[in-house]
């Protein structure tokens, strides 16, 4: 496992990331002009990424930068292309147009959305974590990784016999064993209740703080996101909007349900797209006439 990050030091890359973050638009307003070339100061930088399969556009002109130490939450409806984009960023999908830059020797930790396992295969958690690594992983490191994710008791259990929540933690431990620069989690809270989601977000925050890695978190939930997210990006084949989440600790009902500490772990993402999508999912032009009518109606209501 890597040494804990020293957050007291300021690097030119960190400064550039903050400048970039400061330029992020609030959702649905005045999207900034992004250079056509990928930014080599980023860990991963995508420009005008377009991907088509069997005549269907899955991604269209997607621009995205992932910076050191930040948490980015990628949201969007089913079929929006979130998993496809992640696979393209990882190099698992070939894009048709655009460019994707990955920093040389970039270490990636990936927790997939689905993990299919043959229940007839005799495989302990320990053996599973030792398989497929670039270098030999000793038992002490495996035990340490399981302790890190709060699953110390599953070491000798058969992988197919552990619970879904335990499996998620094992997959996270496997990703951490790679000492990643970026930890990518594709819908890790799928099938988990809100209390479990809060616990997972707290764990991700602790791991990020301890090792200084970046996190890309994919979620199908369009509203409830991780409060520690530096940016939330809404994707529906293209980037619809991006912004900063609002912590739900401002909402007393969440505090009553989950307590003050838990309410600070989740956030609400408020967004207002400046366009719509047609039946095929393609973005339609902004309805400026509709916006003008709505503004005129509001103004009239205020006067009365």
For residue 279, give both structure tokens: 């039946």
Residue written as token pair 């530096």: 230
Q: Which are the contacts of 40, defined by CB distance < 8 A and separation ≥ 6? A: 101, 103
Tell me the C-alpha to C-alpha distance, in Å, between residue 17 and each of 11, 27, 68, 129, 229: 10, 19, 8, 34, 14
| Domain coordinates in residue numbering, the chain | 12-303
Between the two ends of the chain, the Cα-to-Cα distance in Å is 65
For residue 114, give both structure tokens: 């689905």
Across the chain, which has 304 residues, the per-10-residue mean pLDDT values are 40 40 39 69 96 93 94 89 93 94 94 77 89 75 92 92 87 92 88 78 89 91 82 89 74 63 71 56 54 41 42
C-beta of residue 235 within 8 angstroms of C-beta of residue 74: yes
Residue written as token pair 């064993």: 177
How high is the pLDDT of residue 21? 40
3-state secondary structure of 66: strand
What is the CATH architecture of 12-303? 3-Layer(aba) Sandwich (3.40)
Q: In what order do the strands lie in the sheet with 266-268?
A: 224-226, 266-268, 246-247
Question: What is the rounded CA–CA span in Å between residue 157 and residue 180?
Answer: 26
- CA neighbor of 184 nearest in space, from 218, 216, 209, 206: 216
- CA neighbor of 129 nearest in space, from 88, 90, 85, 176: 176
Helices 194-211/164-176 angle, 10° precision: 10
How high is the pLDDT of residue 302? 42
How high is the pLDDT of residue 65? 94
């Amino acid at each position: 496992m890597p040494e804990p990050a020293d957050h007291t030091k300021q690097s030119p890359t960190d400064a550039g990331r903050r400048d970039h973050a400061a330029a992020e638009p609030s959702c649905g307003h005045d999207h900034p002009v992004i250079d056509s070339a990928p930014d080599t100061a980023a860990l991963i930088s995508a420009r005008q990424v377009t991907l088509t399969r069997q005549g269907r556009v899955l991604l269209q002109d997607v621009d995205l930068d992932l910076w050191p130490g930040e948490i980015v939450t990628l949201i969007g409806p089913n079929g929006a292309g979130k998993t496809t984009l992640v696979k393209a960023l990882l190099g698992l999908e070939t894009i048709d147009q655009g460019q994707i830059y990955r920093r040389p020797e970039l270490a990636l930790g990936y927790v997939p959305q689905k993990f299919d396992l043959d229940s007839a295969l005799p495989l302990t958690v320990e053996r599973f974590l030792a398989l497929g690594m670039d270098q030999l992983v000793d038992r002490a490191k495996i035990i340490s990784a399981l302790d890190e994710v709060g699953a110390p008791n599953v070491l000798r259990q058969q992988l197919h016999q552990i619970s879904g929540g335990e499996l998620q933690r094992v997959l996270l431990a496997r990703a951490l064993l790679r000492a990643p620069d970026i930890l990518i989690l594709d819908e890790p809270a799928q099938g988990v209740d809100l209390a479990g989601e809060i616990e997972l977000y707290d764990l991700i925050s602790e791991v990020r703080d301890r090792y200084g890695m970046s996190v890309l978190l994919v979620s199908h939930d369009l509203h409830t996101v991780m409060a520690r997210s530096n940016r939330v990006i809404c994707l529906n084949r293209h980037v619809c909007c991006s912004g900063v989440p609002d912590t739900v600790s401002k909402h007393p009902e969440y505090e009553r349900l989950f307590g003050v500490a838990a309410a600070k772990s989740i956030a609400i993402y408020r967004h207002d797209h400046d366009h719509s999508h047609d039946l095929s999912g393609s973005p339609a032009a902004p309805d400026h006439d509709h916006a003008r009518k709505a503004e005129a109606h509001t103004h009239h209501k205020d006067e009365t």
